[in-house]
Structure 1
Amino acid sequence: MKGILTLIPTPIDEESPLEQVAFQKLEEAAKNPSENIFIIEDLKPGRRRWLKFGLTRDLVEDFVLFNEHTREEVLPNILSSLKAGKNAFIMSDGGLPAFCDPGVELVRACHEEGIKVTSTPFSNSISLALALSGIDHSKFTFGGFLPIKAPEREEELSSILKRRETIILMDTPYRMKKLLNEVRELNTGRKAFLAMDLNCPSEELHYGNLEGILKKVSEFKREFILILGA
């Protein structure tokens, strides 16, 4: 069975404590270092934050460094370990990993290899969906909620999809299937990511093309965010 990549959001302020669920997951994983990988962005701040959070000093020499300078070298090894059943936890220097930082490449690679990606609690669902998407979001448009009625709905969707940047769309749970089909019918060829019930026990994430995603979803009336690549 493949392992899981977990994003660990950390406080921007180094003096603030780590969110409790994140702390518990890291503390538990640290008890079995041979079965888990701990990934940080930069050595000094990563180690400093780890210790400030009250986590064991025993692992600070074993952290895997993943940034713009090391990603090509370490990515294959991380993926191999995940495929072999190890779990991985990634932290940035502060904030949400894989949100506008090199971690997005690791997330994308995991999606492409069929490796599950998730996150400990984070308060902003849009930022979290972008981080979990693995889709480049250096530039993005928040399309938000489309008009309910035609033809305004079709016109606005067509206009938004003309933008050559990542797009974020939302709607009420009972219109999720309708929105997915509307985007699919426009045949944009964009890579898609569907996040449902983020940070809930029923969380479900799908990455790929909309045709394939529609086939994988069995329950459509759920809170969701749809992200479309540029």
Structure 2
Amino acid sequence: MQNNYILSHRKAEPENGILYLVGTPIGNLNDISQRSLNILKNVSLVACEDTRQTKKIMNKFNISNKLISFNKYNSSIKIPNLVKDLKEGKSIAIVSDAGMPGICDPGEDIAKTAKSQGIDIVCIPGACAAITALVSSGLPSSSFIFEGFLPRKQKERDKILLEISKSKKTTIIYESPKRLKKLLKELFDFCGGDREIMVARELTKKFEEHIGSNINEVSELFKDKEVVGEITIVIKGINKKEVFNLDKLIIKKELNELINAGLSLSAASKYLAKKNGIKKSEIYNLI
């Protein structure tokens, strides 16, 4: 059976009625591509996560164009108008403050809506903090999981942290500098102190740092240090030898939670022994 291929011969960019998702630098403005600059200069308008950030790029490269605000606070209001403009033949560029739009920002929402309306979407590739940190970490990078920012609600957060602790794949997380120490404590509780990790700070910028080798070391380095800058964390997946120790770590965490909730050591141990199919005495040995 012969496969049929459709080749799309694109016209000179930007084209009318096209939504462009434009990658911008994550720090060093020289990382922007000529193709991105051409799109920013010549589209009908540029929708920015923060117009002040985008103006830095526009000013550096002497570009003048119409900028409008498009972020998580106003995206639901702006999307219908942007879709209307696209259907009328305008070309629109979507940019985030840094990196690829659509990754942890409302670029994802407008792409979904545009696609459902039959509007063509073209991605202009650019820098991405997750990929930059991953390939800089030296950790396995052929197969990985990207979690973005973890949920704020503790129940949802714990569920993902448990998945990370048991995953055999490298995991990438974004985190606020204000919450990094809390996250490191949680990673210690779920993954143990020996799990390999790298914290990337200020990627592509003057004070770029790659901090790590394991959770214990990173936690100690940040213990009495003020955390500033954009943070990306890369966590190595679990190997077979670590699975048994991790299971004990998780059971111990559950045991402490049950005791703190009011159960006696005996009752909590009995419950966890039955749940995990192990002897009650093994639970006692975890204390």
The structure with the greater share of residues assigned to strand is: 1
Larger radius of gyration: 2
The structure with the greater share of residues assigned to helix is: 2
Bigger relative CO (Cα 8 Å, ≥ 6 apart):
1
Q: TM-score, normalization: structure 2?
A: 0.38
